[in-house]
Amino acid sequence: MRLLIKNGYVVDPAQGINSGKSVFVEDGRVVGLMGHGDEPPEGAEVIDATGLIVAPGFIDMHVHLREPGQEYKETIATGAASAVAGGFTSICAMPNTQPVNDNAAVTRFVIEQAERAGFANVFPIGAITKSSEGSELAEMGEMKDAGIVAVSDDGRPVPTAGMMRRAMEYANGFDLPVIDHCEDKSLARGGVMHEGHWSLVLGMRGMPAAAEEVDANRNCQLAGLTGARVHLAHLSTRGAIEAVRRAKETGLRVTCEVAPHHWTLMDDAVQDYDTNTKMSPPLRSREHVDALLEGLRDGTVDAIATDHAPHHSDEKALEYDQAPFGMVGLETAVGLSFDLVHGGIIDLERLVSLWTSAAKVLGLSNRGHLGENAHADLTLLDPECAWTFDPFQSKSRSRNTPFAGRQFKGAAVATIVGGRVVFLHPDYSRITAGQKRAASAR
Ligand SMILES: [Zn+2]
Ligand SMILES: [Zn+2]
C-alpha cells in the first residue's frame, strides 16, 4: 500500500530536517521525502497535512500497562489505544505486572497482546532481578531474544550498589540499557510527598530530594565503573539533573527522562489532598522544577516520558497516606509539552526531539526518524489546536489524573503506525478525505 502524507511541515531532528515536505510511505516503511510541488506517486492514497507538523512517531518509553494481573486498571489493548489517542506510535511497557515480566514467556505475551490490539507498537522492558525482589538477576538474554529493549526494576529500585553493579555488567553483555527509578528507600522512608515546606504544613511524611539524588549519583558512578548504558527514569530534582549533566560531560553513557507532571505541577498542589497528585517521585518545589526546565532546554534531558500509571478510582479514593502512587498520562502529555513551546522554554524541533530520541536511548534504529526505510510511524501535530481534557472520554481504563478539565493549546491530531492511521482527532477528519476517496475508487 502506498500513502502520501502531503503538504505538511516536516520536523525530523534526527535528520536535521525542518521544512515543508511530503512523506511517501509504501508497505509500512518510509520511501522518502518529496517537495510539495512534486508529482504524487501513482496509486498513492493521500493524507492532507496542510497546516500541520509532520513528525516521526512519538515514543513514550515509560508506561505501566497492568496486564497481566491487574486488567481492571488497564489492559495492553486499552493502554495502547490510549497511547495512539495521545499521539504515541510506540510505548515501552514496564515489567511490574503480576507476574513480573522477568522471563521470556511474559515478554512474548506482552508482544502478542499488543499485536492483537493493533494500536501502538509496544516494546516490553524486562525486570533486572527475579520478581523485582532485588536479590537474583533475571534471565536478561532470554528476555532480549524474546523482544525486551531494556531492563528495569521500576517501582522497586535495586536496593544496593553492589547488586546494581552486577546488573549493569550483566546487561552490558547483552547491550541492554539499565533503567533505574532513583530512590533510596532508606531515605524516602515511606514518604507520600516531597519533603519541604508543604509536607511540614500538611503534616505528611516527606521524601527528601536527596533520596533521588543519592541514587542518581550512585548510578552515574556505576555507569563509569561498568561502562554500561544507564537511563535514569522520571527525574524530578535539581541534584539528579546535575548528576546527569556531569556524567554526560565526562562521556559516560548516561541518559535521562522527565515526566510532564513534574514540571507542570508543584508540591503545593497536594494541599487539596487530591490523591491524583500523589506520585513517586513526588511533585517537587520551585527550585527543582526550574532545574527540570533548564535540563529540558539545554539538552541534559534526553526524553520526555509519561510514567503512565493507571489505578482504579476506588484505590485513589483512599486517604492520601493509603492511596497508590501514580497518574495516567498518555493523553495529556503532548498537550502539556506544548506548554513548553508556547512558554518559550523550547522550540518545536526540541519538542519533537524529546519525544523521539527514546529510539536512540533504546537502540531502535529504524524508529524516531523519517529516514529511508524507517518504520512509517508518524505523529501529526497542530500546535494551535485548543482542547479540554475529559478523562471520561479517555481510551484508558483508569481516570486518575490531576488534569481533568484542563485546557490545552497544541495536540497530536493524527497518529500513523506502520503506514496505518490508528488515531484521528474528530475535528481533523478532513485530512483523510483523499485516503477514503482513493480507497473507494479501488
Ligand atoms: Zn518509577
Ligand atoms: Zn514507572
- Closest among 88, 14, 129, 432 to 260, alpha carbons compared: 88
Distance 422 CA to ligand 1 centre (A): 29
User: Does 215 participate in catalysis according to the annotation?
Assistant: no
Ligand nearest to the CA of 281: 1
Spatial distance between the Cα atoms of 144 and 141, rounded to a whole number of angstroms? 5
- Catalytic annotation, pick one of 307, 314, 321, 390: 307
What's the distance, CA 104 to chain centroid?
A: 23
- pTM assigned to the model: 0.97
Distance 367 CA to ligand 2 centre (A): 23
Residue 241 C-alpha cell reads as: 539533573
For 161-183, the DSSP string reads HHHHHHHHHHHHHTTPPEEE---
83 touches 91 (CB < 8 A): yes
**Per-residue pLDDT in tens (0 to 9) along the chain, 442 residues:** 899 999 999 999 999 999 999 999 999 999 999 999 999 899 999 999 999 999 999 999 999 999 999 999 999 999 999 999 999 999 999 999 999 999 999 999 999 999 999 999 999 999 999 999 999 999 999 999 999 999 999 989 999 999 999 999 999 999 999 999 999 999 999 999 999 999 999 999 999 999 999 999 999 999 999 999 999 999 999 999 999 999 999 999 999 999 999 999 999 999 999 999 999 999 999 999 999 999 999 999 999 999 999 999 999 999 999 999 999 999 999 999 999 999 999 999 999 999 999 999 999 999 999 999 999 999 999 999 999 999 999 999 999 999 999 999 999 999 999 999 999 999 999 999 887 665 555 4
Which burial class, exposed, middle or buried, applies to 349 when counting CB atoms under 10 A from its CB (0-12, 13-18, 19+)?
A: middle
Residue 189 C-alpha cell reads as: 522512608
Distance 18 CA to ligand 2 centre (A): 33
Ligand nearest to the CA of 327: 2
Distance 124 CA to ligand 2 centre (A): 13
Ligand nearest to the CA of 61: 2
7 phi/psi in degrees, rounded to 5: 65, 20
Distance 48 CA to ligand 1 centre (A): 39
Please state, in angstroms and as integers, the Cα–Cα distance from residue 278 to each residue in 74, 196, 273, following that order. Answer: 19, 15, 9
